[in-house]
Structure 1
Amino acid sequence: MSQSSLNRRLIQIFGILLGISVAVWVLRGFGILTFIPGGIIWLLLLGAIAVAIISYAQRTWWRF
């Protein structure tokens, strides 16, 4: 897998995780998904942040 396709895949994963976490947060706020604990939302957000950091590091620092 080349470096640009890996970075593209990481950015897609970041967008998916961020979108799911925002959707779950909004639906939980409306009272539709009340059974989902707040820790799950935090895990989704932290996962999105971790993928974004890995994508940035892969693009700028890993040159092999």
Structure 2
Amino acid sequence: MNQSFLNRKLTQILGILLGTGIALLILRGLEILTFIPGGVILLLLLGAIALGIFSYFQRRLWRF
């Protein structure tokens, strides 16, 4: 697998998770989506942060 392909996919998944988490958080705050538990939104945001950290270290440290 090409290094730049992996970086692009990780960045795309990071954007999707972060965008979805923020959108759900805003919609829940406006009381439109009140049935979604806060834990689900927290897991989405934590997953995005973890993926961002992984993507950063993969780009900076794992240069084969």
CA RMSD of aligned residues (A): 0.6
TM-score (norm 1): 0.95
Give the aligned partner of residue 36 of structure 1: 36
Instruction: State the Cα deviation string for residues 5-55 of structure 1 (Å, max 9, x = none).
Output: 100100000000000001000110111110011111110000000110110
User: Equivalent pairs: percent with the same residue?
Assistant: 67
After the TM superposition, which parts of structure 1 deviate over 3 Å for at least 4 consecutive aligned residues? Answer: none
Distance of 1:3 and 1:54 partners within structure 2? 14
Structure 1 stretches lacking a partner, 5+ long:
none
In structure 2, give the amino acid aligned to 1:20. Answer: T
Give the number of aligned pairs. 64
Structure 2 stretches lacking a partner, 5+ long:
none
